[in-house]
Amino acid sequence: MINYPHIESEDPELFALITGEEERQRDGLELIPSENYVSNAVREAMASTLTNKYSEGYPGKRYYGGQQFTDQVETIAIERAKKLFGATHANVQPLGGANANIAAYMALMEPGDTILGMDLYHGGHLTHGHPVTYISKIFNFIRYKMKDIETGEIDYDELRQTALREKPKVILAGFSAYPRELEWQKISDIAKEVGAIAMADVAHIAGLIAGGSQKNPFDYGFDVMTTTTHKTLRGPRGGMVMIAGDRGEEIGKKIDKAVFPGLQGGPHMHQIAAKAIAFREALQPSFKTYAHQVVENAQAMAEVFQAHDIRLITGGTSNHLLLADVFGSLGISGHDAETLLDHAGITLNKNSIADDTRKPMDPSGIRFGTPAMTTRGFKTEESKQVAELMVEVLKKRDEATVTKARADILALAEAHPVPESFA
């Protein structure tokens, strides 16, 4: 636990809110699949004096002086990222995953060019071209979907036909609510056939790739990979773009120019230092154990939901997340399920399911996952226990059931404290 003596004395109002959030995370269970806990080392880097320093440019090519230490920090982060993912080039400056994606689009395409990506309601992400985003007004986004919602199979034949017809400049593979593995080789082959750049957004599964429990798109001929550095990678909130393949040097230069000065100003050096620490943690043998346990825990939870006849989109999971149709199975909306479980000490998020007839703010589904609870040391039996509690709360929905579940969750949380170090 990190203390906040200066905040406590200088701003008691904010101190109460920060410590309140710390208590909430400590006493409940975080099941939002894009959330995790970071080590105290990462948190210390985020609060370090590096936050004082402007460092526009790149190592050895800065616009301001006084960069002898910041250059080394960023170089270490870059080299560790390349080693972790088998990349030939890495840009660690993006402030988030959306920034990383937008920078990649700017580097790889001209306004009006076509990009083929996964439909949001079939598992994609807002930054993959949803009409509500500004980036969709700049580039022409075409979407592909699942062929079979019950198994999660992507319609790769239709994807290929669409690519042949539309001639996209980029084919984007990646997701935010898809519980299966993509067939990276098929997508890479289609990209080569139509002369497109193969780009993977692995924000959700970066840690699983680093830990060897999911396949690495670079091993299947992908050119570009974007990611967040939090989620399963268990680092600070931030983004990254990596390059591999024969065109690595050429694309890498374009990516760097797109990030700075194209999209961002000065990089957040405290954040980059925290990324470097997280990459070092992910290079340790223990991280492989963690990555495999994340998947095993998710599959254990899936077994419980299926045993209770609750429909899971794609019929289960092959990664860290699950998407349950609670409205179709139990008659409760995703919004109400989220609220009810929050009262029981379980945090997850409402989520649209494929071809959902309900509105996004009150959808049919809930999305939950195991990265954070696995960080706390949960194994498959505890994961099943949590799933049983979730099902009981969602089925009964009475105050007594919620109160009992809250006590059980608190006991589990106390028995599995958030670790302070992953060294």
The phi and psi torsions of 397 (rounded to 5 degrees) equal 60, 25
Residue matched to tokens 């290079």: 283
Active site residue 43: no
Active site residue 347: no
Q: How far is CA 133 from CA 98, 120, 261, 342, in A?
A: 11, 12, 22, 29
Task: Give me the catalytic one of 26, 237, 288, 358.
Answer: 237
Task: Give me the catalytic one of 143, 169, 231, 234.
Answer: 231
Alpha carbons within 13 angstroms on the beta-carbon side of residue 183 total 12
CB within 8 A of 376, min separation 6: which ones? 37, 413, 416, 417, 418, 419
| Collapsed DSSP state (helix, strand, coil) of residue 197 | strand
Preceding amide of 59 cis, omega within 30: no
Task: Give me the catalytic one of 30, 74, 119, 201.
Answer: 201
Exposed/middle/buried for residue 298 (C-beta within 10 Å: 0-12, 13-18, 19+): buried
Active site residue 44: no
- Angstrom distance (rounded) from CA 310 to CA 162: 34
Task: Give me the catalytic one of 54, 113, 186, 189.
Answer: 54
- Could you tell me the sign of the dihedral formed by the alpha carbons of 325, 209, 98, 2, in that order? positive
Task: Give me the catalytic one of 22, 35, 44, 56.
Answer: 56
Task: Give me the catalytic one of 70, 226, 227, 228.
Answer: 228
Q: Measured at the alpha carbon of residue 94, what is the angle toward residues 93 and 99, in degrees to the nearest 5?
A: 165
Active site residue 88: no
Active site residues: 54, 56, 201, 228, 231, 237
